Structure 1
Amino acid sequence: MPDLKDDKRYANTLARGLSVLRAFRPTDNGLGNLEISERTGLPRSTVSRLTFTLCALGYLTHGRHHDKYRLGPSALALGNIAAAAFGFIETATPIMQKLANDTKTLIGVAIQDDGEMLMVKTWRPENSATIWLNVGYRMPVLKSSTGAAYIGAMNEAERNKIMSILPEDQTDECMELWARSQDHLLANGYMYLTGGDRFSASINALATPYRPSEFSEPVAFLSGAAADVLTEARMNDSVGPELAAAVEQLRHVTGQHYSVLLPV
């Protein structure tokens, strides 16, 4: 699979700057250059130049000379603009909130970001205790139910693109998961991983893909809870069909009349 970095159109400095912004998590109380270097794999000297530039442009901020970096006002503005442009999230809210209340599980939507699945919106059951996922949470593409549903909805070109950013030794695993997920999605409308295939043994989750008109690739809606609450039997008997029906309702509301597995 060709490496994007070998393409003459690929702006490596821009990619490195964006990787610095991706290093931040909602739970962080600021990051220093060393922490950013460890998360991104970039040399500390490179990180120092990038954080200086991003601070000058307002994408990062820090109060004092030795203070840690935090996302700045330009990053906030960009995020708000992006969020406002994704109309399907607002349309999905009443549907997904009802699903969260009915199933007593966390409902979320995740996108692919730099080879991982990134949670961008969650709906929690009303009057619920703490639920395990928050916005900004990241999951492996090949070891999560969310990633499996996302991959299963891809066409061949999209599958080849994601394989180009995954480690080379994961190519066969990605191909196998793509075929298995497509079969399961076509038969059931949702996908989940079990046993050693998933990255967390304490959490059960299942997911259904959706293809927003605003995106060039699918996203994945998920339902998740502790494994003793969301059992495999419950996933198949009720929660899985309910999630698939909720996403189908969203497709109907947004005027989509084609299967998510047949991208246009």
Structure 2
Amino acid sequence: MDDIEKRSGTVQAVDRAMAILEVLGDDEEGCRLTDIARRTGLSVSTVHRLLTTLEQRRFVQFDRTDGMWHVGRGAFAVGSAFTRQRNFVAPALPILRRLRNQTRETANLGVVDDGEVVVLTQVESREIMRAITRVGGRAPMVNSGMGKAILASYADADIDALINRQGLRKATGKSITSTAILRDEIAAIREKGFAFDDEEFVTGLRCVASVVYGAQAEPLCAISISGLSVRVTDDRVEALGKLIAEAARELTMSLGGRAPER
């Protein structure tokens, strides 16, 4: 271990291998060796050496027909453990399927990780044109329906602390960048029981979401319906909000949870 690694507490080879896995995880079509090198900033020879090691452990796999590298089943097995540890995923799936069937849109379940929402699982819309936020995808809490739904369950002081730490990021032209506007929206979410993401993280994508609580009235996760803005129109939002709020209450009850007293 060199002096830099001793000071930072990191191991360079491991850090580089993780960077490669992150690149492959972001591209479902796979990547060529040169593309991985360009996106990680590593030399081709270094990337090839690390890929060879990862391949031996089945964390990546190489398709010789087109020369593309993909995430392997070893990485999938390890990543799946994250979902298995969340005992609310399995009970949520029947509810997500019902929401998908009722609305014809994609139903999602997400949790908070370091101030962002991570999509744990989803049931995809059967529509030909559909909006998908991939499983494992992340979004800032203030820019997403699920994130805002969970944020509204926090104490005001905790919301202020998150905003001070992370700021209000402008991801699209509709992103909330005013603290005053966010406060008004949080108040509305608490009143209605659901949150609405109006193309605030991805242009053309709308999302309606509600929070799911645990036994101590703490927010466990959120569920949502997401769809293209041409289908999730203004006149559907209220009805979708009622559906998603009821589904969140159902999941809360099935998990032995309870909503906090207001």
Is TM-score (shorter-chain normalized) higher than 0.5?
yes
Structure with the higher strand share, 1 or 2? 2
Once the two structures are superposed, the pairs formed by residues 128-147 of structure 1 within 5 Å of their partners are 128-133=127-132, 135-136=134-135, 138=137, 140-141=139-140, 142-147=142-147
- Letter in structure 1 aligned against 2:73: P
Q: Indicate the residue corresponding to 2:21 in structure 1.
A: 21
User: How many residues of Structure 1 are paired with residues of Structure 2 in the alignment?
Assistant: 243
| Relative contact order, higher structure (CA 8 A, sep 6+) | 1
Counterpart CA distance in 2 for 1:94 and 1:63 is 35
Counterpart CA distance in 2 for 1:223 and 1:139 is 16
SS of the equivalent of 1:192 reads: strand
Unpaired stretches in structure 1, ≥5 consecutive residues: 1-7
Confirm or deny that 1:30 pairs with 2:34: no
Q: Indicate the residue corresponding to 1:235 in structure 2.
A: 237
The verdict on how the C-alpha distance between 1:187 and 1:38 changes in structure 2, with shifts beyond 3 A counting, is farther
Counterpart CA distance in 2 for 1:11 and 1:175 is 37
Query: Could you state the TM-score of these two structures normalised by the residue count of structure 1?
Result: 0.70
Query: C-alpha root-mean-square deviation of aligned residues, in Å?
Result: 4.0
Unpaired stretches in structure 2, ≥5 consecutive residues: 1-6, 171-175
Q: Contact 1:152–1:180 (CA<8 Å) still a contact in 2?
A: no
Counterpart CA distance in 2 for 1:255 and 1:20 is 40
Once the two structures are superposed, the pairs formed by residues 1-264 of structure 1 within 5 Å of their partners are 11=10, 13=12, 17-25=17-25, 28-37=28-37, 39=39, 42-45=40-43, 47=47, 50-62=50-62, 67-112=67-112, 117-124=117-124, 128-133=127-132, 135-136=134-135, 138=137, 140-141=139-140, 142-154=142-154, 166=166, 170=169, 173=177, 179-194=183-198, 198-210=200-212, 218-236=220-238, 238-259=239-260
Q: Contact 1:152–1:178 (CA<8 Å) still a contact in 2?
A: no
Counterpart CA distance in 2 for 1:129 and 1:63 is 28
The verdict on how the C-alpha distance between 1:201 and 1:135 changes in structure 2, with shifts beyond 3 A counting, is closer
Between the two proteins, what is the percent identity of the paired residues? 18
Counterpart CA distance in 1 for 2:164 and 2:56 is 35
- Letter in structure 2 aligned against 1:192: F
- Letter in structure 1 aligned against 2:135: G
